[in-house]
Amino acid sequence: MDFKLSEDDLMLQETAADLAAKRIKPNAEKWDEEEGLPQEILDEMAELGYFGMLLPEEYGGLELTTVTYNCAMEELAAACAGLMVMLSVHNSLCCEAINRFGSDELKQKYLPDMAAGKTIGAYCLTEPNAGTDVASLKTSAVKKGDNYIINGTKAFVTNGGLAGMFIVFAVTDPEKGAKGGFSCFAIPKDTPGITVGAKEKKMGVKTSDTREVSFADVEVPAANMIGEEGSGFKIAVIILNNGRIGIAFQSLGIARAALEEAISYSKERKQFGQPIAGFQAIQFKLAHMATKIDAGRLLAFRAATMKDEGANVAKESSMAKLFCSQTCNYVVNEAVQIHGGYGYMKEYPVERYFRDARVTEIYEGTSEAQLMVISSQLLKE
């Protein structure tokens, strides 16, 4: 397996890195304090095509490979993890669900505006009492003529307040259990009966918009079902594999940024008459940090490459997500330690990286959930 990036990969990576350095990183701390993204940066991302990175050109997308797309995502994550996850959920979960499993009618109706950034997507799977245990979903979809009536509440919805389109999983046949009993729907935000809650107050990735979304007798045309009735579990699992690869690269971006800050600080900070970079204790920390990041990148690129080849990446995406998210938390912790007391202060970026890192082991499936996936796949082999 060749992980050498193509000229197109490198060009997009350089473009994203330039954008991140000039427009995103200088504003990331401000956006974190404001707990949101300004419309101007969303418009700029839309103009550059970042809302349609994985979509076919016929819908206005860039039609990038998973590898190329994630090269850009890592650069954005290194500058602002919240902005990156906003784009990741929109591209790899919402757009991908409609593009891969939706009817031609759904694709033609919704994907052009989603690719243009006119309609931002939000992925509604988790509920207040149903996280890893998807069999506990309570949101219902009851058939009524040519429509379905949706009732229920979704929790921790990324892009909840920005979204113009909700990808919603709901129970259509309680008797069939999780694997055949729920389905997936594309529901525009202007559909009557949808209530978007207040923005959640989070520890990190504060620039991403996270909310509770409720559905009360929301009437949705049967034509807005994504895939067949009862295929919701299959769709959720496949789409989450995409998201997990994305979070692996997000983790690498945060970790890499923290390592760069730690190296820079260690060269400037002097103790006992010399830069702390001269002490073996600091040198060994940096060596371990860099080695783990490189190892994680190989796992992430393997998963992305295999997805582009059409392989089943359930195990590989979970391995990448597990290792990279754990590496991210390890690296930012060491970066704060290297900064000492200053690492605990908001004036230094590592404080934000430390807060942003924590959720990488939680969303898109906890580390414990990844272990469940990996072990189940191993036992099937």
317-364 pLDDT, tens digit each: 999 999 999 999 999 999 999 999 999 999 999 999 999 999 999 999
Q: What is the mean pLDDT of residues 369-379?
A: 96
Three-state DSSP at 128 gives: coil
How far, in Å, CA of 262 to CA of 289, rounded?
10
Cα–Cα distance list, 179 to 92, 133, 364 (Å)? 22, 12, 19
- Are 352 and 250 members of one domain? yes
Q: What is the mean pLDDT of residues 88-107?
A: 97
- Are 215 and 262 members of one domain? no
- Are 208 and 260 members of one domain? no
CATH of the domain at 243: 1.20.140.10
- Are 264 and 343 members of one domain? yes
CATH of the domain at 144: 2.40.110.10
- Are 224 and 239 members of one domain? no
- Are 248 and 280 members of one domain? yes
Q: Please indicate, yes or no, if residue 2 is contained in any of the structural domains.
A: no
Residue-number span of the structural domain to which 262 is assigned? 234-380
Query: What pLDDT does residue 2 have?
Result: 65
- Are 243 and 371 members of one domain? yes
How far, in Å, CA of 317 to CA of 376, rounded?
14
How far, in Å, CA of 23 to CA of 285, rounded?
31
- Are 185 and 273 members of one domain? no
Q: Which of 213, 229, 245 is the last residue before a domain boundary?
A: 229
Least Cα distance to 292 among 318, 317, 329 occurs for: 329
- Using one digit for the tens of pLDDT, what is the confidence trace for 284-327? 999 999 999 999 999 999 999 999 999 999 999 999 999 999 99
Active site residue 361: no
Q: Which of 127, 200, 334, 364 is catalytic?
A: 364
**Number of folded domains in the chain?**
3
- Are 53 and 141 members of one domain? no
Q: Please indicate, yes or no, if residue 332 is contained in any of the structural domains.
A: yes
Furthest-apart CA atoms within the chain: distance in Å: 79
Q: Please indicate, yes or no, if residue 59 is contained in any of the structural domains.
A: yes
- Are 361 and 262 members of one domain? yes
Q: Which of 98, 115, 132 is the last residue before a domain boundary?
A: 115
Q: Please indicate, yes or no, if residue 1 is contained in any of the structural domains.
A: no
Residues linked to residue 275 through DSSP beta bridges, in sequence order: 270
Q: What does R_g of the chain's alpha carbons equal in angstroms?
A: 21
Sign of CA dihedral 330, 335, 339, 343: negative
- Are 253 and 180 members of one domain? no
| Contacts of 288 by beta carbon, 8 Å cutoff, 6+ apart | 334
pLDDT > 90? residue 5: no
Query: What pLDDT does residue 1 have?
Result: 62
- Are 258 and 304 members of one domain? yes
